[in-house]
A and B are shown apart, each in its own frame.
Chain A
Amino acid sequence: MQPATVYSRDRCITGIHGMDEILRGGIPYGSTVLAAGTCGSGKTTLGMEFLVRGALAGEACAHFTATEPSVKLLENIRQYAFFDMNMIDSGLINVFDMDVLYSWLGLDKASFDLEDVHALIKAIVDIVNTIGVTRLVIDSVTTLCYKIKSEQLIRDFLFTLGKKLATLGCTTILISEITSASENAHWSSFGVEEAIADGIIVMGDVERMGHLLRFLQVVKMRGTAHSRAKHSIELTPLGVMLTPMLKWGAVNDNTSRWGA
């Protein structure tokens, strides 16, 4: 019997060293990927490099920053050789301060209701649609969702946003802050983000021989086969570098110690 024709989705090539190999060619276009990581695990750098590589390929990119002011974000990111401020000045990468967006939309209140959430979705979708954004990063969806008090509303917000962005062919990375990246930990702060996302990338730290190593693991990615192994992340001046982690595990992992 002849095998059926294998359908392969178009990919958004991340351009991040090692990432496209893990994803067997890149993130399926239009996916909403949750990049969940602990503090200092390299989420923002990963997100920004994702945009820079897209901009270098001529794609329109947008970054919504909610965790830190854009001025601070840009000051921190410009130390990387892969980043060029001209990309911001020329509008290849559009960085939006969520605080400014809230202010423009009159969302100065402490918590958002349904109408506010819809206004926010409409604004983000408007921006994506008008500029023709194909790569989007929201950093972080955790900070953004803190203003949405109901879990149902968070679910609606993420689901609707993801659906609309996918329709526009925009590949989105939603950065999520988590306190632990261990196997039993949740990959999202509110518990709903992971269910909505097409893909989940977990980032954290693992202790090895007294060193704290950053790792990245693709837990889920709809529409593509992918490696589920932990990869070591190096934040080099040239950008993020992912290399497979050797299988000796963590120091507290007795099953995989030297000589075990």
Chain B
Amino acid sequence: MNKQMKFNPEDEDFFGGVGSFGVPKFDNAMHGGVPRGFLVVGFTETGSGSELFAKQFTSPAEEPENTILISTNESQLEIARVFKKYNWPTDIAVRTLGEEYNAKVLEKELLASRYRLEGFKLPDIQRLAQTRFVDDDTQDFLTEMTNEVMAMGPYFRAVIDSLDFFMQRDDPGRVVAMLRMMQAHTQLYRGILFITVSNDTITPAVKQEMAAIADMVCDFKVRTIGSDFETSMIVSKFRNAPENLSIMVYRVTPEEGITPETVERIA
């Protein structure tokens, strides 16, 4: 029998059936926002603004302690700077796996290369002779990230930007399996989970599978028009609401971040 959750009616009233995208105009275009329990997958292109969109997606932060941004490319400092710039709440949880990977894996690899190339110096040898245990350096970032999301309570809001990090280091089949687990948890706990992945890091088959798992699929596109760039989001899947499928051109404004353009451009 499927696991069922009981929700407090007051919470139901407070959180409502949908959550904001963090962009009011997107909410309007999607008839209110993202339904709770939805996994939104964004397939991205370089320069399409998806990183900013991912951060903006966390900005509604209905419960900051139940909101997390997991970034694999940016540092805590960079993220904090963007949040301050747009006046988004800075009391949400932010985990920067890229930084952790650099510190725990790459730095260790670099040190190992140094030892192998240059040899041990006397202080290294003294430290080595006093070291009795191997650091537990077995780090499975994919499992850690999944656990982080799975540990979140009802009505959580989580963003993973992006899955590229895992697609490049793990078996894509395993990444998709973890995605399934997170999708089930999101649905059960009426959370909202937004995940980005670059088109260039996945095969069409994996993309197809991810799109099938997702409740909503957005394609972030960028193209040049004359000497200008045009960024757009194509909503190609919206479970149980096909009327929401649309193409939205957006731009970045200093006040609102990602903002859909309401006036059609004349090419």
Interface residues of A (CB under 8 A from B): 69-71, 91, 94-97, 99-106, 108, 119, 122-123, 126-127, 130-131
| Partner pick for A126 among B108, B119, B126, B137, CB 8 A cutoff | B119
* Cross-chain contact A130 with B132 (CB below 8 angstroms): no
What are the 4 closest A-B residue pairs judged by CB atoms, nearest first? A106-B112, A126-B119, A94-B129, A103-B134
Interface residues of B (CB under 8 A from A): 108-109, 111-113, 115-116, 119-122, 125-126, 128-129, 131-135, 137
**Interchain CA distance A103-B128 in the complex, whole Å:** 11
Q: Please name all residues of chain A whose beta carbon is closer than 8 Å to the beta carbon of B129 when the two chains form the complex.
A: 91, 94-96
Q: Please name all residues of chain A whose beta carbon is closer than 8 Å to the beta carbon of B131 when the two chains form the complex.
A: 97, 100
Q: Please name all residues of chain A whose beta carbon is closer than 8 Å to the beta carbon of B115 when the two chains form the complex.
A: 104-105, 123
Whether A105 contacts B112 in the complex (CB less than 8 A), given A126-B119, A130-B122, comes out as: yes
**Interchain CA distance A106-B129 in the complex, whole Å:** 17
Q: Please name all residues of chain A whose beta carbon is closer than 8 Å to the beta carbon of B119 when the two chains form the complex.
A: 122-123, 126
Q: Helix, strand, loop or mixed for chain A's interface?
A: helix
**Interchain CA distance A127-B119 in the complex, whole Å:** 9
Other A-B pairs, 12, CB within 8 Å; known A91-B126, A95-B129: A70-B132, A97-B132, A99-B134, A100-B128, A103-B137, A104-B111, A104-B115, A106-B116, A119-B116, A123-B119, A126-B125, A130-B120
Whether A100 contacts B113 in the complex (CB less than 8 A), given A95-B129, A130-B122, comes out as: no
| Partner pick for B128 among A71, A101, A106, A119, CB 8 A cutoff | A101
**Interchain CA distance A104-B116 in the complex, whole Å:** 9
A51 to chain B, nearest CB (A): 13
**Interchain CA distance A111-B167 in the complex, whole Å:** 26
Whether A104 contacts B121 in the complex (CB less than 8 A), given A119-B116, A123-B115, comes out as: no
**Interchain CA distance A119-B113 in the complex, whole Å:** 10
Q: Please name all residues of chain A whose beta carbon is closer than 8 Å to the beta carbon of B125 when the two chains form the complex.
A: 94, 126-127, 130-131
5 of the cross-chain contacts (CB-CB < 8 Å) are A94-B129, A101-B128, A123-B119, A127-B128, A130-B121
**Interchain CA distance A50-B226 in the complex, whole Å:** 81
Q: Please name all residues of chain A whose beta carbon is closer than 8 Å to the beta carbon of B128 when the two chains form the complex.
A: 96, 100-101, 104, 127
